[in-house]
Amino acid sequence: MDKFFKTDNPAVFVESPGRINLIGEHTDYNHGFVLPTAIDKKIYFELRKNDTNTSCSIYSETFNTRLNFDLKIIKKSNSTWENYILGVVNELQNRGKELSGFDCYIKSELPIGAGISSSAALECGLASGLNSLFELNLSKQEIVNLSQAAENNFVGSQCGIMDQYASVMSKKDHLILLDCLSLEAEFIPTNFKSCKILLINSKVSHSIADGEYNTRRKECESGLKIIQNQYEEVKTLRDVSLELLDSCKSQLSEKQANRVLYVLQENQRVLTAVNLLKSGELQAFGKLMYQSHYGLRDLYEVSCRELDFLVKFSEEKDFIYGSRMMGGGFGGCTINLIEEAHIAAFTEEVTIAYQKEFKLKPEMITVVPGEGTLVKRA
């Protein structure tokens, strides 16, 4: 666990994983269903108190930079990774949690902007580490909530709860069917038989801090409001049926209607997909992954040419059961359910084709569903 670290006398070690999401995209902030899990790729932290009252020093090996700050002066930085750190400290202090000066060393094996949630791993890992270092007695759910709040309030991205939940709560070899309204979770064993999960990083970097993500969220919220004007019993998009949406269509803009339609369909797909997984029908499960992609491309409009190319390329192979863009969109990875025996040859083929089309080398990442955040005291 401690093979990376260089500080003296570390007190706490944290392993904080990235996440994948099999199906259920852009449904979390619409109070719907998602099917994520943590992966075996992580961010590693080492923390110690430093005998000062308020001076903190964070070293990121990935960026080869140091962030020094004072606990009494938490100001937004121009650098996004620093804001994830400062945002977590800010949320802890806002909740009346007492901190003193600390040092932290961070090393990441998660690609940034690839849609595997390096940001949630950073927030939740730091929050979990500080929870242990200062004996703050936060529950796992509180760590999830405050990490999401850090991103919403400090970084300014109105993300839902999926990434933080998956990073902290996942169990090895399971997917989480998470109801993002009640926060009830069912852990579904991953039985992918002869298949593996292969991520293909398009190398088009996305940042959900960019406006489009927040715009989608606003479009769904304003669409919901219009529906509520007509049907006051509707509390969230979960209460909207296809018939009900149809009856409101004339009052919604085309965009609003498409966004809402996508969300209703995607929620249904998640629930169907879970049943198919439970009964071992992997090919039918994979078909829903493709449908999810088409919805994200055509109705929700968060895909891009590079992702569409990768999904189409996969669709032509019968040894790939399902493929779709994953995460916020506009770049990052596709997630593919692929027969293991074909991974090597497919990797070669898709790399050549993608490079020819886009002059970019895609990155292949095989992942295994893993355990949520691990914290160890020295």
Positions annotated as catalytic residues are 163
Bridge partners, residue 179, by sequence: 33
Nearest CB to ligand GLA, comparing residues 178 and 277? 178
CA nearest to 26, candidates 185, 171, 219: 219
C-beta of 47 vs 159, nearer to ligand GLA: 159
Between 160 and 223, name the residue whose CB sits nearer to ligand GLA. 160
Write the interaction track for ligand GLA spanning residues 320-339; mark x where CB under 6 A is met and - where it is not.
Answer: -------xx-----------
Residues within window 124-163 making contact with ligand GLA, judged by CB under 6 A: 159-160, 162-163
| DSSP E strand boundaries for the chain | 12-21, 33-34, 36-49, 55-60, 65-70, 102-108, 174-179, 185-189, 195-201, 320-325, 333-339, 363-367, 369-370, 374-377
- Per CB under 6 A, which region of 24-32, 185-193, 219-227, 276-284 contacts ligand GLA? 24-32
| Residue 29 within binding range of ligand GLA, rule CB under 6 A | yes
Rg of the chain over CA atoms, in angstroms?
21
Q: Does 18 bind ligand GLA (CB under 6 A)?
A: no
Q: Interface with ligand GLA by CB under 6 A: which range of 23-31, 283-291, 313-321, 340-348?
A: 23-31
Q: Interhelix angle for 80-94 vs 140-149, to 10°?
A: 120
Contacts of 291 (CB under 8 A, 6+ apart): 265, 269
How many residues of this chain bind ligand GLA (CB under 6 A)? Answer: 12
CB of 213 to ligand GLA, least distance (A): 7
Residues 10, 17, 28, 260: which binds ligand GLA (CB under 6 A)? 28
Residue 7 neighbours by CB distance under 10 Å: 15
Nearer to ligand GLA, 103 or 219 (CB): 219
Q: Is 25 in the site for ligand GLA (CB under 6 A)?
A: yes
Whether the Cβ atoms of residue 101 and residue 56 lie closer than 8 Å to each other: yes
Residue 367 contacts ligand GLA per CB under 6 A:
no
CB of 180 to ligand GLA, least distance (A): 9
DSSP 66-98: EEEEETTB----SSHHHHHHHHHHHHHHHTT--
- As measured in angstroms, the least distance from the Cβ of 80 to ligand GLA is 13
Q: Which of residues 186-215 bind ligand GLA (CB under 6 A)?
A: 208
**Distance of alpha carbon 125 from alpha carbon 129, whole angstroms:** 6
Q: Scanning residues 45 to 74, which ones bind ligand GLA (CB under 6 A)?
A: none
Measured CA to CA, the distance from residue 71 to residue 55 in angstroms comes to 6
CA-CA distance, 328 to 232, in Å (whole number)?
Answer: 30
Task: Decide whether 118 or 256 has the Cβ nearer to ligand GLA.
Answer: 118
Considering beta carbons, is residue 124 or 343 the nearer one to ligand GLA? 124
Judged by beta carbon, residue 181 or residue 244, the one nearer ligand GLA is: 181
CB of 196 to ligand GLA, least distance (A): 22
Helix (H, G, I), strand (E, B), or coil: what is residue 222? helix
Among the residue ranges 25-33, 80-88, 250-258, 286-294, the one whose residues contact ligand GLA (CB under 6 A)? 25-33
Phi, psi of 308 (to 5 degrees): -60, -40
Q: How far apart are CA 265 and CA 275, in angstroms?
A: 16
Q: How far is the CB of 117 from ligand GLA (least distance, A)?
A: 6
Beta-carbon contacts of residue 119 (< 8 Å; ≥ 6 apart): 80, 84, 151, 155, 163, 208
Q: Which of residues 87-126 bind ligand GLA (CB under 6 A)?
A: 117
Binding site for ligand GLA (CB under 6 A): 25-26, 28-29, 117, 159-160, 162-163, 208, 327-328
